[in-house]
Amino acid sequence: MKWNLRLTAANKGIWKASELQRMLAEHGLVISAGKMSGLWSGQPVSLKLEDLDVVCVVLGCEISDLLIPEPEKVSRPGQQDAGQAVVAAAGPAVVPRRRDGRSLPPM
């Protein structure tokens, strides 16, 4: 699954994590700065379904706007092509990072 919070928020005119954090708090969902950073900048490790409901209400969106399926990433037994074998042998992919420590925009 691809986490699509930043793009969904941007489509609603919300450009800062702190702004979304304030709006969530107004709806009863108080999130720490660290957890908000994880939700905003990357792929959350865990998220309660009740919290997901609040995010959808605040953004006026559906779950399908926040979570995008990526079935092509699911490995199937016995179906590993040569390209995947080379990537697996080379190790994890290198992800570019900004020098100032800020996260890159969603892809």
When pLDDT is cut at 50, 70 and 90, the band that residue 94 belongs to is low
| CA pair distance 95, 85, nearest whole angstrom | 19
Cβ count within 10 A of residue 20: 23
- pLDDT digits 0-9 by tens, 24-80: 999 999 999 989 999 998 888 888 999 999 999 999 999 999 999 988 888 888 766
- Res 86: pLDDT: 53
Structural domains present in the chain: 2-71 (1.10.260.40)
| CA pair distance 45, 106, nearest whole angstrom | 17
